[in-house]
Chain A
């Protein structure tokens, strides 16, 4: 899949920036709201990652760089609003979000004809989880027991990637249909 651009739009430059701002705002809201929910499974760091849908969307509509920038800004501003900016978790979240965005961009660019948005989403979610584990290992607790979590992280990445990927595909198809009708 290639980034969706419509050069025929009037004031395309302005529209792109407005769209980016709206996507970033939505991403932050989803990020913060998700933090309010009690964890569904008793594994630290297990989250659905709904705001990653916005990263995927930004990449498709505004390009890969914008998507990666959105992932970084979402993590920093989101943890700032949630009040966890200088907590150790915020660094994990930032590293996970960044690596996940890079993996998603690479997968969209190189692997997308065989892969759909769901596959890309799963790869992104797993990259997010594994990065958090590795960063936690090097920064906080150097015990190999931490990798005890690896199987859980893989399964949780699969589930959350599947869910966010399906939502993304649905939204993308819907939006594309409406844009083509308009």
Chain B
């Protein structure tokens, strides 16, 4: 191991160490970017009734919103940056069973009441490169 380290240090010039240090600094500097993009795209939820936007919910506070659709009242709850459907008319209660959503690209759909809730943004990368 010591032998290996000595060989490596013989092969690296001070310029190389400088490059390594600069790249590590650059990485450290771009890490906040990672949080920013994740937060900026996951901060809102859009509520639609029959495809029309009726609410833009900020996920920063905790509260409840009621939307009245053709089948009755859908109660949407926002808590800790997540959204779920608390109550909604319909026999199967699918949207309530979906639970909490918080990631961009996730949706809740209450079909009987024509209500959809989506978190805007792209869920990730589609193309695979090699």
Query: Which residues of A approach B to under 8 Å, CB–CB?
Result: 35, 44-45, 47, 84, 87-89, 92-93, 111, 113-119, 122-123, 126, 132, 136, 140-141, 143-148, 150-151, 154-155, 157-158, 162, 165-166, 169-170, 173
Contact = CB atoms under 8 A, between A and B. Distances in A.
Contacts of A140: 126-127
B15 interface: yes
B129 A132 contact: yes
B19 A122 contact: yes
A92 B20 CA distance: 25
B32 to A, nearest CB: 9
Contacts of B20: 119, 122, 158, 162
B91 interface: no
Contact of B37 (A119, A145, A157, A166): A145
10 contacts: A45-B130, A89-B128, A89-B129, A114-B15, A115-B15, A119-B15, A141-B122, A148-B34, A151-B34, A154-B23
Interface residues of B, number: 31
A148 B104 CA distance: 14
Contacts, number: 106
Contacts of B126: 140-141
B129 A126 contact: no
B78 to A, nearest CB: 22
Contacts of A123: 19
Contacts of A126: 23
A146 B33 CA distance: 11
B35 to A, nearest CB: 10
A144 B15 contact: no
A118 B18 contact: no
A88 B129 contact: yes
Contacts of B130: 35, 44-45, 47, 84, 87, 89, 93
A147 B33 CA distance: 8
Contact of B13 (A92, A116, A158): A116
Contact of A44 (B13, B33, B125): B125
Contact of B23 (A111, A113, A157): A157
Given A44-B129, A89-B130, A150 B15 contact: no
B1 to A, nearest CB: 15
B6 to A, nearest CB: 13
A136 B127 contact: yes
Given A115-B19, A141-B122, A148-B37, A169 B27 contact: no
Contacts of A117: 11
B127 A141 contact: yes
B41 A145 contact: yes
Q: Which residue, B16, B127, B128, has most C-beta atoms of chain A within 10 A?
A: B16
